[in-house]
């Protein structure tokens, strides 16, 4: 079964951590994840978020001048290689 | 999502080959970790360290080296972190937990050697581990024949200092270990140009003890039924303990434990999962194979009696002492309490397993051995006998890093869980 997941990508680690602080302060749920290969071949952190929060997240990004490489949606099959 | 390729290139990483690893890790993490439900928010820090494991931490090491600092690689819980910290060097565990590195390792080592040794050798030979590439020196030890001989090959690629670990625990073995620690101090002073003093050593003992205490706090929380955190998540925390800055790690781990304290107070729904202890060989990053298989079933891993578990943090170094001699003696005492299968006899390990089985209220024990790890494999019979005498169910799994036997392991664990 395919799963839809939503990510914020960043130009560097510092901007990612800045975004995390904002999400935490505003009580929005999030998960820090390795950047999915489907979106970029660069390593490092991205933030996975709930789509219901997307409006508030965009406002936080704009309001606080967080540098991002965009919000991305990926539809994929998640496989545990051990199972 | 910075581009670290310039840094990796400077370190001599084989970019093309390393990219294959970068391509696999996010998927592997997503499939094993990000499919778990209700993870503590405090795991986000450890997610970020994992995501940046070859990124921002390598940048920190690079910065440290630019300022004249040294980086030292280790593979074993017997190498005293306190000494490395006391000379202002950074100690890092090394890449050794993926099948990705095994093929390159087999180019210079026999195939019938444990996957951990083949993997670390492959990581260096193939130039695919930025940690290895950052190291000014590797500190080896004599915990098994495989490693002991591997250092002879490894020293063709990077400077290696080997600590001779005694294989018995008699008074003269303690004395020998004290001498080894003194030699290690000399070597580290020579490498860094910094002297170990009573103050610097005491300070590093305190930092390392606080880290151990935080890990112990995490493990103590798992004694609650049900545990407020998965075995998979704790395994990641333990693995990251070998790479991260010790003070930052301790702070973040204590934050996670604060959150778990709240979880425990609010009572978590008990789904009746079987409480499992893992005992045996270490699980180096990113070896999540057994935890992932076991916890996909009706089971929760609540304690690991391994080098990436209790052996890493149990017992603190006594901080009291007026001289270097006193403090070195304290360090030797603490490290000689580790019950590794390299010792003969090693009945202390069996005592630990029985003690943890009670403390963590386990329903069963899985004795996990990496293929060709003879010392732990030989101990299995004694472990099994002691557990059976206590009516504690036990099973043995011998495996490596490949996924070929995963289905078979899952079936065996399923049957074991039904039986207990």
The pLDDT tens digits for B121-166 are 999 999 999 999 999 999 999 999 999 999 999 999 999 999 999 9
pLDDT above 60 (res B1): no
A2-77: which CATH topology?
Alpha-Beta Plaits (3.30.70)
Domain that holds residue B283: 5-419
pLDDT above 90 (res A40): no
pLDDT above 70 (res B7): yes
pLDDT above 80 (res B277): yes
Asked if the Cβ–Cβ distance from A35 to B1 is below 8 Å, we say: yes
pLDDT above 90 (res A44): no
pLDDT band with cut points at 50, 70 and 90 for residue A64: very high
Q: What is the mean pLDDT of chain A?
A: 94
Distance from CA of B149 to the nearest CA of A (A): 32
Distance from CA of A52 to the nearest CA of B (A): 18
The pLDDT tens digits for B361-380 are 999 999 999 999 999 999 99
How much is the pLDDT for B9? 95
The pLDDT tens digits for B238-256 are 999 999 999 999 999 999 9
| Of B289, B19, B371, B297, the residue nearest A81 (C-alpha) | B289
Domain extents for chain A?
A: 2-77
Domain count, chain B: 1
- Asked if B39 is an interface residue toward chain A (Cβ–Cβ < 8 A), one would say yes
Both ends of chain A: CA-CA distance in Å? 15
pLDDT above 90 (res B268): no
pLDDT above 90 (res A1): no
pLDDT above 90 (res B3): no
pLDDT above 80 (res B305): yes
How much is the pLDDT for B239? 97
pLDDT band with cut points at 50, 70 and 90 for residue A20: very high
The pLDDT tens digits for B44-93 are 999 999 999 999 999 999 999 999 999 999 999 999 999 999 999 999 99
pLDDT band with cut points at 50, 70 and 90 for residue A42: confident
Percent of chain B with pLDDT over 90: 97
- Asked if B399 is an interface residue toward chain A (Cβ–Cβ < 8 A), one would say no
Substitution target in A26, A34, A69, A72 with the highest count of B β-carbons within 10 Å is: A34
| Of B283, B305, B299, B420, the residue nearest B355 (C-alpha) | B305
pLDDT above 90 (res A41): no
Interface predicted TM-score (ipTM)? 0.95
Facing B52 at nearest CB: one of A13, A30, A82: A13
How much is the pLDDT for B2? 65
Size of interface A-B (CB pairs under 8 A): 110
Distance from CA of A20 to the nearest CA of B (A): 9
Facing B55 at nearest CB: one of A31, A41, A43: A43
Facing B31 at nearest CB: one of A43, A46, A79: A79
pLDDT band with cut points at 50, 70 and 90 for residue B170: very high
Asked if the Cβ–Cβ distance from A11 to B2 is below 8 Å, we say: yes
Residues B7-15, mean pLDDT to the nearest whole number: 95
How much is the pLDDT for B94? 78
Substitution target in A43, A71, A74 with the highest count of B β-carbons within 10 Å is: A43
Q: What is the mean pLDDT of chain B?
A: 96
Q: How far apart are CA B171 and CA B328, in angstroms?
A: 15
The pLDDT tens digits for B405-418 are 999 999 999 999 99
């Amino acid at each position: 079964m395919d799963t839809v997941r939503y990510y914020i990508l960043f130009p560097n680690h510092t901007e990612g951590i800045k975004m995390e602080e904002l999400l935490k302060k505003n009580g929005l749920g999030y998960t820090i994840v390795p950047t999915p290969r489907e979106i970029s071949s660069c390593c490092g952190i991205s933030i996975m978020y709930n789509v219901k929060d997307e409006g508030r997240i965009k406002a936080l990004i704009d309001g606080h001048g967080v540098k991002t490489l965009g919000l991305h949606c990926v539809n994929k099959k998640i496989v545990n290689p051990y199972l | 999502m910075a581009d670290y390729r310039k840094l990796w290139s400077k370190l001599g990483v084989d970019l093309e080959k390393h990219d294959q690893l970068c391509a696999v890790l996010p998927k592997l993490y997503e499939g094993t970790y990000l499919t778990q439900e209700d993870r503590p928010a405090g795991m986000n820090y450890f997610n970020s360290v994992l995501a940046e494991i070859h990124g921002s931490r390598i940048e920190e090491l690079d910065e440290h080296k630019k300022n004249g600092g040294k980086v030292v690689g280790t593979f074993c819980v017997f190498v005293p972190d306190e000494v490395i910290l006391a000379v202002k060097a950074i100690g890092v565990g090394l890449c050794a937990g993926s099948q990705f590195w095994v093929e390159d390792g087999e180019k210079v080592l026999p195939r019938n050697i444990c996957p951990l040794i083949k993997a670390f050798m492959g990581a260096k030979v193939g130039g695919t581990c930025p940690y290895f590439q950052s190291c000014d020196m590797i500190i080896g030890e004599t915990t098994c024949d495989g490693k002991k001989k591997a250092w002879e090959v490894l020293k063709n690629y990077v400077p290696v200092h080997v600590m001779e670990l005694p294989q018995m625990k008699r008074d003269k073995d303690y004395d020998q270990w004290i001498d080894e620690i003194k030699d290690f101090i000399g070597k580290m002073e020579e490498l860094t140009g910094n002297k170990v003093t009573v103050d610097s050593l005491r300070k590093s003992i305190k930092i390392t003890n606080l880290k151990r205490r935080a890990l112990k706090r995490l493990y103590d929380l798992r004694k609650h039924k049900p545990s407020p955190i998965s075995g998979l998540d704790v395994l990641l925390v333990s693995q990251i303990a070998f790479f991260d800055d010790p003070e930052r790690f301790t702070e973040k781990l204590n934050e996670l434990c604060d959150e778990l304290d709240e979880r425990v107070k609010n009572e978590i729904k008990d789904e009746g999962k079987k409480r499992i202890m893992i005992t045996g060989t270490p699980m180096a990053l990113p070896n999540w194979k057994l935890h992932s298989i076991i916890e996909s079933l009706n089971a929760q891993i609540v304690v690991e009696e391994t080098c990436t578990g209790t052996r890493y943090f149990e017992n603190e170094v006594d901080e009291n002492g007026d001289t270097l001699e006193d403090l070195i003696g304290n360090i030797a005492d603490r490290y000689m309490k580790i019950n590794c299968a390299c010792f003969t006899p090693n009945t202390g390990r069996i005592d630990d397993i029985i003690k943890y089985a009670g403390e963590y209220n386990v329903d069963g024990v899985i004795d996990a051995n990496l293929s060709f790890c003879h010392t732990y494999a030989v101990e299995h019979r004694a472990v099994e006998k002691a557990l059976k005498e206590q009516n504690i169910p036990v099973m043995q799994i011998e495996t490596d890093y490949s996924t070929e036997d995963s289905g078979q392991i899952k079936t065996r664990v399923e049957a074991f869980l039904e039986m207990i």
